Amino acid sequence: MKRLTPNDLAEAAALLGRGEVVGIPTDTVYGIGCRLESTDGVARLFALKDRPGDVALPVLVASVEMAVELVGEVAPSQRALLTRWWPGAVTFVVPCEPELAARVGSTTASIGLRCPDDALTRSLLSEVGPMAVTSANLHGAPPATSADELLDAFAQTSGIAAVLDGGPRAGASSTVVSLDEAGRLTVLRDGPIDRRDLEASIEEISRG
Each domain of the chain, given as residue ranges in start order, spans 2-206
**Position 63, amino acid:** S
Query: What is the per-residue pLDDT for 165?
Result: 98
CATH fold group of domain 2-206: DHBP synthase (3.90.870)
* pLDDT one-digit tens code per residue, 158-174: 999 999 999 999 888 89
Rounded mean pLDDT, 2-12: 98
Q: Which long-range contacts (CB under 8 A, 24 or more apart) does 63-71 make?
A: 63/115, 63/122, 63/126, 64/115, 66/115, 66/125, 66/129, 66/130, 67/94, 67/113, 67/115, 70/36, 70/96, 70/100, 70/113, 70/130, 71/95, 71/96, 71/97, 71/100, 71/111, 71/113
The answer on pLDDT for 32 being more than 80 is yes
The mean pLDDT of the chain is 93
* pLDDT one-digit tens code per residue, 101-149: 999 999 999 999 999 999 999 999 999 999 999 999 977 788 999 999 9
More confident residue, 80 or 22: 22
